[in-house]
């Protein structure tokens, strides 16, 4: 048994990693819905979900249960195979794309194995390309769903999404070329390390400053790729009922839902990694005291949660929230106590916080921006984003040619 384990430890480690990542991502997805609803609600001066559990914290669970136990009708005259294939395709591809993302610089030493955060192998030379490949296939989920539903609104939604994704993929790909030129590699880790070439510069060394054009193009195109507001035409409820997933119910619908949020996370990771220095801390490397920033954030947050829970009316809340709060506080304290752990978590901490920031931007945009008209969408993609991103490529390559690689 042990021998078997040791024989193909890599395999086992990878499987474990995958399982863990799946769990984390799905959970984050679930709470992302909660997060989104809360934020949008507060933007619209509402309370948002607050019935199920304290601050509606258990709402996602309730939704999941609802999805599971809902009736799942299959419309008449649908192309069964494709109809079932589409959501699977969407979800699996979305989850796969996460596997490329590296979550931390240093390996974790366990049982004599170096376990890196992230599933993909270190020397994945075509990391970003692979990511694009997977997202490129993502369109099929939507398009096929729209087509196979054998109903006019989904068909329109599918057509829209396929056209839109193909159009914006160009801008998406072109806009990162600048970054790739500066890093000189497709490998995500190399891209991050390239931004750390001047440790003292801190956040000034990130790609977002030289590549500001590229960043905006990329983020816009990425939002369009994930069919989010203001580019959510494939599911524009005011025009197409619910777009491509009109005919989908219960868990199949949930798959699309999860796929969408997962791709949001992926895009946020990509933005962070390529433009905002990934796991790099915004402070110059010499400021070692900034390593206590995590604890500095965690401990007060935990204390606040405890206090908040203590003055909560329901018993359940009084029990749960302090527990969570104390866990958070203990984590912070632990980091302070164990400097090695503290150093190790620096990378993941910054990465996750940045990702969270981007997720907030997503939600923010949804709360504020109106939807594009379709012709505006196409014109925007082809006549603005693509040219601008190409210009960005030209400028970057010119600068690199003139003043050498920085």
Q: Which chain residues interact with other proteins by CB under 8 A? A: 79, 81-82, 85, 125-126, 129-130, 132-133, 136-137, 139-140, 143-144, 146-147, 155, 158-159, 162-163, 165-166, 169, 173, 186
Rounded alpha-carbon distances, angstroms, from residue 54 to 31, 45, 317, 318 = 14, 19, 5, 9
CB-based contact 49:38 (threshold 8 Å):
yes
Distance, CA of 208 to CA of 190 (rounded, Å): 16
CB of 368 vs other proteins, minimal distance in Å: 31
Distance, CA of 282 to CA of 268 (rounded, Å): 17
Q: Among residues 338 and 401, whose Cβ is nearest to other proteins?
A: 401
CB of 363 vs other proteins, minimal distance in Å: 28
CB of 148 vs other proteins, minimal distance in Å: 8
CB of 374 vs other proteins, minimal distance in Å: 15
Q: Among residues 162 and 346, whose Cβ is nearest to other proteins?
A: 162
The DSSP code sequence of 239-296 is HHTTGGGTT--HHHHHHHHHHHHHHHHHHHHHHHHHHS-TT--SS-TT-GGGGGHHHH
CB of 155 vs other proteins, minimal distance in Å: 6
Q: Among residues 8 and 288, whose Cβ is nearest to other proteins?
A: 8
Rounded alpha-carbon distances, angstroms, from residue 292 to 13, 173, 279 = 30, 37, 15
CB-based contact 92:134 (threshold 8 Å):
no
Distance, CA of 189 to CA of 122 (rounded, Å): 8
**Residues belonging to the chain:** 406
Distance, CA of 259 to CA of 389 (rounded, Å): 27
Q: Among residues 181 and 241, whose Cβ is nearest to other proteins?
A: 181
Residues forming beta bridges with residue 109, ordered by sequence position: 114
Q: Among residues 241 and 297, whose Cβ is nearest to other proteins?
A: 241
CB of 165 vs other proteins, minimal distance in Å: 7
End-to-end CA distance of the chain: 52
Q: Among residues 125 and 197, whose Cβ is nearest to other proteins?
A: 125
CB of 143 vs other proteins, minimal distance in Å: 6
Distance, CA of 294 to CA of 229 (rounded, Å): 32
CB of 138 vs other proteins, minimal distance in Å: 9
Q: Among residues 321 and 393, whose Cβ is nearest to other proteins?
A: 393
CB of 317 vs other proteins, minimal distance in Å: 48
Q: How far is CA 61 from the centre of its chain?
A: 20
Q: Among residues 193 and 353, whose Cβ is nearest to other proteins?
A: 193
CB of 86 vs other proteins, minimal distance in Å: 11
Q: Among residues 133 and 395, whose Cβ is nearest to other proteins?
A: 133
Q: Among residues 144 and 224, whose Cβ is nearest to other proteins?
A: 144
CB-based contact 83:141 (threshold 8 Å):
no
Distance, CA of 232 to CA of 376 (rounded, Å): 13
Distance, CA of 249 to CA of 168 (rounded, Å): 28
CB-based contact 158:244 (threshold 8 Å):
yes
Distance, CA of 290 to CA of 133 (rounded, Å): 38
Provide φ and ψ at 109, rounded to 5°: -90, 110
């Amino acid at each position: 048994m042990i021998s078997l384990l040791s024989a193909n430890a890599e395999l086992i480690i990878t499987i474990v990693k995958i399982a863990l990542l799946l769990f984390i991502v799905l959970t984050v997805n679930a709470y992302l819905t909660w997060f989104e609803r809360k934020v949008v609600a507060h933007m619209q001066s509402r309370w948002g979900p607050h019935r199920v559990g304290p601050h509606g914290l258990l709402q996602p669970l309730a939704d999941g249960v609802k999805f599971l136990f809902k009736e799942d009708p299959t419309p008449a005259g649908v192309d069964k195979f494709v109809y079932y294939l589409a959501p699977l395709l969407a979800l699996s591809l979305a989850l796969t794309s996460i596997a490329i993302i590296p979550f931390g610089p240093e390996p974790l030493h366990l049982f004599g194995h170096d376990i890196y955060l992230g599933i993909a192998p270190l020397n994945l030379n075509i990391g970003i390309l692979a990511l694009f490949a997977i997202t490129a296939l993502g369109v099929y989920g939507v398009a096929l769903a729209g087509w196979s539903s054998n109903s006019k609104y989904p068909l329109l939604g599918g057509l829209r999404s396929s056209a839109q994704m193909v159009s914006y993929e160009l801008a998406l790909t072109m806009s990162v070329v600048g970054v790739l030129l500066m890093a000189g590699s497709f490998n995500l880790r190399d891209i991050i390390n390239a931004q750390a070439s001047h440790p003292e510069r801190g956040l000034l060394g990130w790609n977002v400053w030289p590549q500001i054009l590229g960043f905006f193009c990329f983020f816009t195109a990425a939002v369009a790729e994930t069919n989010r507001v203001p580019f959510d035409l494939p599911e524009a409820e005011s025009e197409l009922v619910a777009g491509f997933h009109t005919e989908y119910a219960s868990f199949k619908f949930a798959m699309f839902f999860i796929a969408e949020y997962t791709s949001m996370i992926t895009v946020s990771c990509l933005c962070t990694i390529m433009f905002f220095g990934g796991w790099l801390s915004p402070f110059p490397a010499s400021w070692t005291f900034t390593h206590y920033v995590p604890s500095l954030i965690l401990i007060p947050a935990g204390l606040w949660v405890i206090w908040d829970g203590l003055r909560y009316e329901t018993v359940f809340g009084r029990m749960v929230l302090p527990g969570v709060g104390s866990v958070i506080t203990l984590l912070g304290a632990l980091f302070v106590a164990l400097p090695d752990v503290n150093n190790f978590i620096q990378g993941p901490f910054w990465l996750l916080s940045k990702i969270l920031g981007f997720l907030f931007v997503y939600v923010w945009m949804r709360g504020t921006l109106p939807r594009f008209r379709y012709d505006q969408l196409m014109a925007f993609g082809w006549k603005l984003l693509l040219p601008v991103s190409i210009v960005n490529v030209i400028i970057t390559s010119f600068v690199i040619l003139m003043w050498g690689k920085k």
